[in-house]
Structure 1
Amino acid sequence: MNEKKDFLSSLADELDTKNEGAAKDDFEIYHASSKSAAELRNFKDQDYDFAENSVQPKTVPKPTSMGGASATPKATATPTPKQAPKPTPQSAGSLRDGKKSPHSFQQEELKKIDKKPFKLDPKILIAGIIGLIAIIGLVWFFFFAPKIPMPDFVGKTINDVGAWAKQNNIETAGIIINKEYSLEYDKDVIISQDQKAGSKIKNDTALTFVASKGADPDEVIAFPDLMNMTYSEIKDWIDTNKLQKTKINTQYNTLVEKDLVINYDLKTGTESNFTRGSTLTINISKGPAPAGTVAIENFVGKTYAELEQWANSKKILLEKTEAYSDTVETGKIISQNIKVGESLEEGGKLGVVVSKGKAVKIPNLVGYTKEMLDVWAATPENKVTIVKKERYNSAPEGTVIGQSLAAGTQVDQGTVLELTISLYMPQLETNSRAWYGKDYLELIKWVDDANGKGANLAAGAWAGEEKSDTYPTPGQIISYSCLDAKGNQLPYGANGCARPLPIDAKISMKISSGPATQPTPTPAPVLKEFKVDKNLGYATFKALCGANGITVNPIGTIADNSTTFVILQSDGVTTINNGQTLSEGMSIIVQEPTPAP
């Protein structure tokens, strides 16, 4: 039995060594794994056959477990450096419970592991430091070091700076350009820069430049005696002082010697307060014009009539072009194609542009209300002749719906501008019985008038005809209704005509074909009449005619008791004798018989 115990104790220690490993602080704590130790504990009641280097159990029962844990409680230990763990009460039956039972294993052993100190080779340390410095240098060079060479921009322009910045991806937000007046440098030329030429910069380096604003236009310049100066002297004076608005015109002149001043025009400022920005024009003589040539004068601002008079006297032909001008009056010269002082051979052509005055610029008037249009038309620069044409349209009444001149067109003042104005929709009714009893042709005429203004209506007696005592005259409108373009009655009022009609509406009418009942015939009137009896005498005959409505036209004097008077019909030829009947309304002639010759 002693051999068996010693072998199992060794086996437990070997298992502990494989499962747990070395302990902290240079100590190794050996213990058996919980599973192996539990199995070994079950061996104590079994018999073993021992052979060389082996152990064969006769019967090895399987350990029972719950949730993957061993049936035998695990041994727990809290190892500390240089001290073996103490057994706990729950570790009874474990391999190291400290009891000297005949079947227990040997106690744990603590072993110290000695470690050799690590030594770093100085050569390797130095090489590593050098390599690290090289890597840092490369990173700084490729990612952080300035690499863009700074050019010398002094004497170059602002545009040159912009082109360079764009080419090198320089951030323009960091470029500051200050400006100052300079007599030495022209406008927009670089005077100085803060970064030295040849230095290296990054693309986000802040750069400051000073650029020239040119010579100070407000600087007072001494005004010379121009009338006693030559052309070259004046030009040197202009160049030296960089006079910005001083110009020289040369022209032929027979009175002033060549290269001497004819006159000058100082338009702004005075001679005593002359500045670099003052406007000055100097006319210098080119001497007499060559034979057969004409010296061109300045016609700008003069009337075309003046130019024509001059051209006729100099045998010069004119080419006239008209253009609008906001500053030059109508009929005056805006420009000429040959400069003042240059010569032109006789018979040559001088081209001039003549002002047509201010142009009227036509806006888009479509959508303007009546009030807006009135305001636009009342503005002095909009002097056009407006002709209005009214059309039915869905736009509100008085709104402009069309114009004859396109928006943006420039026209002469007084040009006719035709505007189409909305009448809104056609209104058939002004009261609910507006058309009842009227002749249907009146409504047809109303439709024709509305169609002439774009209503596109249709009307007809589509509801048919019928007899009517209310409207007995044939053609009278008995009823009517308003329909849409598809023939559906409009929903406005009883007949659909109470509201403005839509474009393409239809008007259906029913008209009278006459009275429904026949009228009672009126008896013919009874005429008064009597038979002629001249024996009663003229006075009695005349009284009977008056009582019966017969007109008597006597010729000459007839005695009241005459029985011989002659009665003639109104034609003065046909005789009416005794016994004939005279009726009411007749006209007769009465006279004495003509004596026989």
Structure 2
Amino acid sequence: MSDFLSNFNKDNYDKQPKDEKESVTSNQTSSQEQPPKESFSPEPKSEKKVPSDSNEHIEIDPNYQRKKRKKLIIYIALSIVALLLIVFLYYSIRYVDMENFVGEPVADARTWANENNMEIELLQEHSMEYDANQIMEQDIEQGKNVKKGSTINLTSSIGPDPEEPIELPDFSELTASEAEVWKNENKAENLQIVTEFSDEVEEGQFTRFVMSDEEISKEEYKRQDNANVYFSKGEEVFEEDIEVPDFVNKNKEEVEQWAETNEIEISYKEEAANDIEAGLVSKQNIDPESMIAKNDEMEITMSLGKAVEVPNFASFSMEEAASYEGLTVTVRQRFHNNVKYGNMIAQSIEPGTELTDQDNKSITITYSEGEPYLRDYRGQLEGDLPRLFYEDYQSKGADISYIVKYVDASEVKGTVVGMSNFNSFVSMDYTVEIHVSNNEDADPGSFDTPEGNEAPEEIEEELSPETEGPEEEQIEK
């Protein structure tokens, strides 16, 4: 303190500025007024004395060395951090931690490999555990350092083996949900579970099994084969909210368009209608303005126009039947053992049938000619007999035939000279014997046919049983 006050002598004081003088004076006054206090100053640990002027006072900071060491430590730490950062950056550029791709899509692994400039060697195998294109194995464990630019080996799934045979269960004993579980467990992706409405099978129960390829049996089924298993959704019930229009006198196209729009099952039938034009609706089995539901059935009757009713021609004569209006009538005559001549035997269309313009209006009426009557064919040529027997008998339903016996006669060869029976009624199945001249030397112009087709006396004598003649030849026709 004394040293400090010694600096303030009169000379120094005079040299100080006025403000400083006032400050010093003030300080001295205050110091004189206050009682003296003891001051304790810590002894410095070390002081370094340096030469100085008598007017300067220098103090040494005792924390200087500590601060210097602290700065050095900080510099060293920063250098280490920078070095580690450089090493980390280098390591990050050159290496990467391997990720776990097991169970992940192959596309994710390829994306990661492209980002890190790496190659992938991919091996594909069938698997029941992993879905197709999922990674099953990797040759480098998760977290292991991998140098960028290297190649990693992965094994991916291509799904279950499509060629593997699968034993199908008895679907009739399974519900739809149980069949779905079986499908997922066996990876049968080509087996479709289909539900359909059924009026007979309870909901959720099996209805049918269909293989797409009919040549493959259920015992030969493989995972790659396509098949459908159908289960019932129960009976489909629709609300009756469709109003039925009046289709009478409407065309068929209007009915079909309405039915297609509202999903109504339409069945058609046709019948004659005298008051409805042909091709238009004449009847409908459900009244107009009635309410029906989707998939209901409805019957529509289409008009065939005005009809002609076929009468019973049994009461008509042949002339009346042939001229009947509205029909094309063909009259035929046939022999009959039980139906008298002129009576009807049959008609090709039943009485009461209605025929329209769309029908064939041709009808055949068959009348009876009574019992067959065998005519006299003496004097006719043998060559005309087939035609005559067909026209006179066989075309009219009588099975009448003949046999030929050649005899010696004065008539020219081939002339009928006798018959075992003629000009009489015979049965429907009858055979007559006809004698034909065998004379090749007769003059065709020297013989006149007797009147009434009667054979000459010479021929009758030859045909009599008592007459002896040459051996006769019989030919059945």
TM-score range normalised by the length of the shorter chain: 0.3 to 0.5
Say which structure is richer in helix: 2
Given the two structures, how large is their TM-score scaled by the length of structure 1? Answer: 0.29
Q: Provide the TM-score with structure 2 as the length reference.
A: 0.35
